[in-house]
Amino acid sequence: MRKILIVGAGQAGLQLALCLRAEGYDVTIMSARTADEIQGGWPTSTQAMFAPALEHERDYGLNLWDDVEHPHLVGIGATIAPVPGVKALSFYGPWDRPGASIDQRLKMSTWLRLFESRGGHVVYHPVMTSDLAGLVQLYDLVVVAAGKGEIVDLFDRDPVRSVYEYPGRVLSAIYLDGVEWSRDYPEPRVRINIEPGVAETFTMPGLTMSGPCEILLIEAVPNGPFDIFRDRPGPTEHLRRARLLLNEHFPWEGELYYRARPAGPRATLAGAFTTTVRRPAAEITPGKYVLGMGDVVVVMDPISGQGANCASHSAHVYLKAILERGGKPFDREWMEETFETYYHEYAQHSLALTMTLLEPMSQHVQQMISAAGRYPQIAKRFGNLFPYPADIHDWLLDPAKGAAYVASVAGGWGGRPR
């Protein structure tokens, strides 16, 4: 039986570990934290996941929250406010199939316990780079899925595919109870408010340990008015500041927060990271490599909600490649091919969407968003970029094709403006 070691018990590592276990592999996870520590820790994400990624989990029966009572996400509702407090346009982009935000503390602690109960080995130990020289001798394959941990420095930055040197946004998030439902958006949508050049806010219903909740993610343009969480205030102060910002900039959102309160004593996170692509294979001893997965190799600002989805896609692609490899060695060429498959099928499209949303809006993108405000069909296509970012190239990134598309909608049967 082939022996595989996975470093890191997050979306990528645990999904791959559980799937390989189901396929009969001898799998070990090395995790920096126990299930109790993950569950009792601070939030790590807002983790909105869309249908294509959730399907990978369903294929292996890992969809443990599908039947738990909580609001599944049915689409995005976006509002653009060019100046504080003024709505210029809004649109709703429904998804064909629902998504969900299951608190990673709940999901990963449950999956880790499930993995152990299914005969997976777990070693609770934060792996150091120096540990790997011994570990690569013991396993047929070592996969590093340690998220943004220091061990990622093993993997060289890809200077061609990495466009940024600095974080595009400063992030803050809070899990809340008591946020009211929006009259404009009665269904459980991801509500997005955008003040171009200043901030984007995302509010989404989710499921946390205590039950359903709302999660507010603020994507602040660095040094702008929303960039006021770098000191990592406690949950009550975090909520106070968020309310002030929402009331001033997006009052239609702020009015939903009068009765809001933090969902537990550990309800916040704050930080910033640079969207980066790294090379997938790192040489540990001469001729012995480890393979990076998830955020280790492609880390993205969460403005487009792609990171956890891509972590799931990478686990899915790596799983297929491991199964197809049979008894042959997991050498460097195989690692690079496996990553390229993931990059071409998934990551490059998610990066394109992320970069489009991080950058100042080009005139063409502004025109497409304005068209989404007028034509429900275009709004739907825009909304579906989040689950299906590969669709971005043919219209949102191509002014000629985009203009032709808008003209066809405007002139066709779907062209009845709102």
Ligand X SMILES: Cc1cc2nc3c(=O)[nH]c(=O)nc-3n(C[C@H](O)[C@H](O)[C@H](O)COP(=O)(O)OP(=O)(O)OC[C@H]3O[C@@H](n4cnc5c(N)ncnc54)[C@H](O)[C@@H]3O)c2cc1C
- Pick 354 or 377: Cβ nearer ligand X: 354
Least separation in angstroms between residue 49's CB and ligand X is 6
Tell me the two tokens of residue 251: 């009052």
Question: Residues 6 or more apart from 252 whose CB is under 8 A from it?
Answer: 79, 87, 182, 184
Smallest distance, ligand X to C-beta of residue 409, A: 29
Toward ligand X, which CB reaches closer, 302 or 373?
302
Residue 310: name the closest of 7, 8, 15 by CA: 15
> SS3 of 273, please?
coil
What CA–CA distance (Å, rounded) separates 265 from 350? 33
**What is the Cα–Cα distance from 46 to 104, expressed in whole angstroms?**
8
Least distance (Å) between residue 310 CB and ligand X: 7
Q: What are phi and psi of 156, to 5 degrees?
A: -70, 140
Nearest distance from C-beta of residue 81 to ligand X, angstroms: 21
- Closest distance between ligand X and the C-beta of residue 308, in Å? 3
First to last CA, the chain: 60
Q: Which is nearer to ligand X, 185 or 273 (CB)?
A: 273
Please say which residue, 47 or 276, places its beta carbon nearer to ligand X. Answer: 47
* Residues whose CB falls within 8 Å of the CB of residue 279, separated by 6 or more in sequence, listed in order: 155, 156, 157, 158, 292, 297
Nearer to ligand X, 198 or 310 (CB): 310
Question: Minimum Å distance from CB 12 to ligand X?
Answer: 3
Alpha-carbon distance values, 414 to 354, 373, 377, 379, 380 (Å) = 28, 14, 7, 12, 12
Closest approach of ligand X to the CB of residue 177, in Å: 19
The residue among 205 and 302 lying less far from ligand X, judged by its C-beta, is 302
Instruction: Choose between 215 and 378: whose C-beta lies nearer to ligand X.
Output: 215
> By the 8 A CB rule, do 298 and 347 touch?
yes
Alpha helices in 60-126 (DSSP H): 104-117
Nearer CB in complex with ligand X: 146/256: 146
In one-letter notation, the amino acid at residue 215 is: I
Nearest approach, Cβ of residue 412 and ligand X (Å): 34
CB 163 to ligand X: min, Å: 18
Beta carbon nearer to ligand X, 149 or 196? 149
The two three-digit tokens of residue 87, written as one number: 């709505």
**Of 298, 259, 235, which Cα lies nearest the Cα of 42?**
235
What minimum distance in Å lies between the beta carbon of 171 and ligand X? 4
CB closer to ligand X, 30 vs 385: 30
> Encoding tokens for residue 167?
């974080």
- Beta strand pairing status for 261-262 and 268-271? unpaired
The site for ligand X (CB under 6 A) is made up of 7-13, 30-33, 44-49, 126-127, 145-149, 151, 171, 173, 217, 269, 294-295, 302, 305-309, 311
What's the CA gap between 211 and 215, in Å, rounded? 12
Angle between helices 104-117 and 11-22 (to 10 degrees): 30
CB of 347 to ligand X, least distance (A): 11
Distance CA 224, CA 340 (A): 37
Q: Give, in degrees to the nearest 5, the angle at Cα 340 between 337 and 345.
A: 130
Specify the residue, 82 or 271, whose C-beta has the smaller distance to ligand X: 271
Cα dihedral: 219, 220, 226, 232 (round 10): 80
